[in-house]
Chains A and B, each alone.
Chain A
Amino acid sequence: MSTRIVFVDDELNILQAMGRSFHSMRNEWNMEFLSSGAAALESLAKAPADVIVSDMRMPGMDGWQLLGEVKKRYPQTVRLVLSGHADSSSVMRAVGIAQLYLAKPCESGALKAAILQTQMLRQLLSSDQLALLVGGVDMLPSAPTAFQEILQCLQNPAASLTDAAQIIGRDVAMTANIMKLVNSAFFGSRRPSTTIDRAVAYLGMDTLGALVLGHSVFQSGVATGIDGFSLEELWQHTEQTAAAARAIALSENLSVARADEAFLAGVLHDVGKVVFATKAAALPHDTTDVAAQMEAHHAEVGAYLLGLWGFPNSIVEAVAFHHTPSRASEKGLGLSGIVHVADRLVHLRSENRSASIDTGLQPGYLESLGLEHCLPKWSAVLQSLDDRKAAA
């Protein structure tokens, strides 16, 4: 079945040129080129699309209104923005309504790669329902305490970017939102940023303040009543997992950059749970056990979301396979392996169980790498993290 893609731009020259440069894709893609938001909605009503690529500023219905409408009516349609506008307010608006923001001029190869990527990511999801669930998500709500903390930090003249980065790094949603924004083409970073510090430094205190206070990107969220789940607990767990992942990476003599990446993957590994917690209402009514659904599918949902948001592949994989690291493409103890081990060990410690009994680790995974003997060493690494924390 071919992928249906709708392109919207008020400049006819752009549409025609895109048509020509994607002509070679005609067998795989079913493309339609439309010059207004109204025409696009009309066309979608006849046949929903897999992907929509829209300009932002157009007369009449602009890209923001169009994509907002598409998000509401067809959440599973992937929304890409291709805009020549470079002012930050229009980009922040766009980032809140689309999964990916590409800046004009954008080489057709890059746009093609982005579209193909969305279709590849789609295969991560085991059902259409999950696509619906995650499709409507463009920004994630933060834990209320985290939101309070960042507010206080920004209002405190003595606070530094490092303080802000630390608070953001503890909250799954803030981290995801910030990285999405920084990685959007607007900020000119062609290579996705993989550390929170760098992303925060890139934005600077003023932009960060605008993001938080303007509520355009950061919001405080309420968890919908899923049994035995709270955003606060998730917050605690991801904080510990991230720190553990970094410590394990360093204990394996990996580079600091790699360890930072492990930290980021650790922060984000349960991002799919945030999606479930806040969008549970969007699940079909017959899904009685949301908690079980969440447990079973949060990895793929989180990975799909981050992939659409333009996160680097290594992070997407680590999130997707943090329960099943053997499926990752990376050889050896990759990012997914590190996050997997960190996640399990943190769970064991919080449940006060020793690593000798059921670890919850993917059976045979460490053995296949010949690393099963490392478990006690890593436990000790986590222990020393705890000790240092207690001492502080």
Chain B
Amino acid sequence: MSATTECERLEYLVLERTRALEQSREMYRLMAESTKAIPFILDITHGGFSHIGPQAVAAFGFPEFQWKEPGALDAIIPRQSNPEVRKRFDECECGPFECLTPLVHIDGRRAEVRWTGTCEWVEGAKMLRGLMLDITEVRRRGLEVAASQKLESVGRLAAGVAHEINTPVQFVTDNVQFVRTSMIDIAPVVRAYRALQYAVQSQGDVIDAAQRAAEAEITADLDYILENAPLAIESSIEGLDRIATIVRSMKEFAHPDQAVKQPADLNQAIRSTLVVAHNEYKYVAEIDAQLGDLPLVPCHLGEINQVILNLLVNGSHAIADVVKDTGQLGKLTVRSGVDGEYVEISISDTGMGIPEAVRAKIFDPFFTTKEVGKGTGQGLAIARSVIVNKHSGTLRFETECNKGTTFFIRLPIGAIAAAPTMAKIAA
């Protein structure tokens, strides 16, 4: 074999390897650049990106050179408005890095970005390498699902509450009508007795006047009125009281949520949710409420109400499947109490229990065993997200076939270790 041919062979080999390398490089570039996750290398020490995927330009509007300038991080995550978040970058240690941050577009719009990567020291500089992903849209869609679920339950409640209010309105109206006509009917009786009084005083025909008074009484059915008018008023007061309770509970239930958790009386929340949901369970279950003494618990009350409502409605549906049209009532037991650092609320039904096969799936979004139109399969998924993600609590259940199911909500009493929510970061 001559030297020339050996040389040619090697040259050919280099060409081939170079081409293979280019192909592989191109493949990885395409892969990295064809997703919405933006690859980056951030020099934390100097605050500039030594590498940034070209998607970043389209996604946030900053031209590539601006990303690469030292201090670029200050432009997208300003230190003064987000000191907490910047601290995560500035003080990050070597190892895996996960973070959720707001990010300001070049036009001032706010996005929410998830960062995932690894932090390392490279030649005296702290470098963060990984992917960043704009999750604004995903988050918004999640909020929409939660809002539509809330709307759905509000719609269902509205029908139930309308019925709860219609009943007292019906009998209060009838009673008041009766009192009105009674007042009219009584007038001639009063006049007859006044005539009698006059007859006595003026020594007139007392017998005749007394006779007329007696007749007037019969015509007006006075005994009936005297017996029933106070009862009608009594019943009206009861009815108005009932309406007031429902309206008050509705107001408490629909408590507008604030960005920050507020200390709340969870027993009161349970009571008002029971009133608001009365129409959902009253034909299938009795309520046994065993509410213990609770401290005020910092929480988003409106969302907790929603969770309690969901569990009550699920429980009454489970009972309805058992009692069907028999007219018998099952039992919904609601307990509350303190357990160490937690407040625990439990809701038990006397339904069929959750079948073994679906137990693992009940918290999955869109999982439902209810017929179409009866549930979206979002209730428990959102309940878990509210309790676990937003309140650092736990939501679990115990179930036994043919006996029933109990759900346990546990919420920490102490100052809540804040899970980073967008609202809080942005504030």
Closest residue on chain B to residue A82 by CB atoms: B170
> Are A84 and B163 interface neighbours, CB within 8 A?
yes
Which chain B residues border A87 with CB–CB below 8 Å? 159
* A159 contacts the other chain (CB 8 A): no
Known A16-B235, A61-B327; contact A104-B178, beta-carbon cutoff 8 A = no
Known: A20-B178, A20-B228. A57 touches B170 (CB 8 A): no
Q: A105 to B169, Cβ gap below 8 A?
A: yes
- Neighbouring B residues of A84 by C-beta, 8 Å: 162-163, 166-167, 170
Interface residue ranges of A4-25 to B (CB < 8 Å): 11, 13-14, 16-18, 20-21, 23-24
Q: Are B231 and A16 in contact (CB under 8 A)?
A: yes
Is B174's CB within 8 Å of the partner chain A?
yes
B269 interface hit (Cβ, 8 Å):
no
B283 within 8 A of A: yes
Docked complex Cα distance between A16 and B283 (Å): 22
Question: Do A13 and B177 touch (CB < 8 A)?
Answer: no
Q: Does B201 contact A (CB under 8 A)?
A: no
Q: Is the CB of B178 within 8 A of A105?
A: no
Q: Would you call B239 an interface residue if the criterion is a C-beta within 8 Å of the partner chain's C-beta atoms?
A: yes
Taking a contact as CB atoms under 8 Å apart, the answer to whether B169 and A20 are in contact is no
- Cβ B235 vs Cβ A17 within 8 A: yes
Highest count of chain A CB atoms <10 Å: which of B168, B175, B178, B235: B178
**Complex interface residues of chain B between 147 and 178 (CB less than 8 A to chain A):** 159, 162-163, 166-175, 177-178
B325 CB to nearest chain A CB (Å) = 8
Contact of A86 among B163, B174, B231, B325 (CB under 8 A): B163
Of all chain B residues, the one with the shortest Cβ separation from A37 is B327
- Measured in the bound complex, the distance between the Cα atoms of B329 and A108 in whole Å is 32
Contacts of B173 in A (CB 8 A): 17, 105, 107-108
**Known pairs A16-B231, A105-B170; A23 contacts B224 (CB<8 A):** yes
Any B CB within 8 A of the CB of A59: yes
Would you call A60 an interface residue if the criterion is a C-beta within 8 Å of the partner chain's C-beta atoms?
A: yes
Cα A41 to Cα B232 with chains together (Å): 28
Q: Are A86 and B170 in contact (CB under 8 A)?
A: no
B171 touches A86 (CB 8 A): no
Q: Decide yes or no whether A106 CB sits under 8 A from chain B.
A: yes
A105 adjacent to B166 (CB under 8 Å): yes
Q: Does A85 have its Cβ within 8 Å of any Cβ on chain B?
A: yes
CB distance from A101 to the nearest CB of B (A): 14
**Which residues of chain A have C-beta atoms less than 8 A from B232's C-beta?**
17, 20
- Label chain B's interface by main secondary structure: helix
Report yes or no: A59 in contact with B175, Cβ–Cβ below 8 A.
Answer: no
Complex Cα distance, B173 from A17, in Å, reads 8
CB nearest to B174 among chain A residues: A17
- CB neighbours (8 Å) of A13 from chain B are 167-168, 171, 235, 238-239
Q: How far is the CA of A126 from the CA of B262 in the complex (A)?
A: 73
Question: Is B203 an interface position by the 8 A CB rule?
Answer: no
Nearest residue (CB) in B for A62 is B325
Please, what's the 1-or-0 string for B310-333, where 1 marks a CB less than 8 Å from any CB in chain A? 000000000000000101010000
Cβ of B174: which chain A residues have Cβ within 8 Å of it? 14, 17-18, 20-21, 108
Instruction: Give the residues in chain A near B327, CB-CB below 8 Å.
Output: 59-61
**Cβ-closest chain A residue relative to B168:** A13
Size range of the chain A interface in the assembly: 20 to 34
Set of chain A residues within 8 Å of B238, measured between Cβ atoms: 13
A103 to B221, CA, bound (A): 31
**Given A105-B166, A105-B170, A24:B239 Cβ within 8 A:** no
Interface string of A85-100 (1 = CB under 8 A from B): 1110000000000000
Q: Please report which residues of chain A, range 83-137, place their CB below 8 angstroms from some CB of chain B when the two chains form the complex.
A: 84-87, 103-108
Is there contact, CB below 8 Å, between B171 and A11?
A: yes
State whether the Cβ of B80 lies closer than 8 Å to any Cβ in chain A.
Answer: no
Q: Distance (Å) between the CB of A272 and the closest chain B CB?
A: 35
What residues of B have a CB within 8 angstroms of the CB of A104 in the complex? 166-167, 169-170
Residues of A close to B231: CB separation below 8 A: 16
**Smallest Cβ-Cβ distance to A59: which chain B residue:** B327
- Is A86's CB under 8 angstroms from B168's CB? no
Q: Are B170 and A21 in contact (CB under 8 A)?
A: no
Measured between C-beta atoms, what is the minimum distance from B238 to chain A in Å?
7
Q: A59-B327, A86-B159, A86-B162 are in contact. Are A17 and B283 (CB under 8 A)?
A: no
CB-CB under 8 A from A20, the residues of chain B are 174-175, 178, 228, 232
A61 and B283 CA atoms in complex are apart in Å by 11
Q: Are B170 and A17 in contact (CB under 8 A)?
A: yes
Taking the closest CB of chain A, its distance from the CB of B209, in whole angstroms, is 27
CB-based nearest B residue for A61: B327
Q: State A61–B239 Cα separation when bound (angstroms).
A: 25
Given contacts A84-B162, A107-B173, contact A11 B283 (CB under 8 A): no
Q: How far is the CA of A60 from the CA of B163 in the complex (A)?
A: 19
CB–CB A16/B171 < 8 A: yes
Within residues 45 to 88 of chain A, which ones have a CB less than 8 A from any CB in chain B? 57, 59-62, 65, 84-87
Contacts of A107 in B (CB 8 A): 173, 177
Which single residue of chain A is at the shortest CB-CB distance from B178? A20
- Within the complex, what minimum Cβ distance (angstroms) separates B299 from chain A? 32
Residues facing A in B221-260 (CB within 8 A) are 221, 224, 228, 231-232, 235, 238-239
Chain A residues with CB under 8 Å of B159's CB are 85-87
B2 at interface, CB cutoff 8 A: no
A106 to B177 alpha-carbon distance, docked (Å): 12
From B159, B166, B228, residue with most partner A Cβ within 10 Å: B166
24 of the cross-chain contacts (CB-CB < 8 Å) are A13-B235, A13-B239, A14-B167, A14-B171, A16-B171, A17-B178, A17-B235, A18-B174, A20-B174, A20-B178, A20-B232, A21-B175, A23-B224, A23-B228, A60-B327, A61-B327, A62-B325, A65-B325, A84-B163, A85-B163, A86-B159, A104-B166, A107-B173, A108-B173
Across the A-B interface, give the 3 residue pairs with the lowest CB-CB distance, nearest first: A60-B327, A17-B174, A84-B166
Q: Give 10 A-B pairs besides A17-B172, A61-B327, A108-B177 with Cβ atoms closer than 8 angstroms.
A: A11-B167, A13-B167, A13-B235, A17-B232, A23-B221, A84-B166, A104-B167, A104-B170, A105-B166, A105-B173
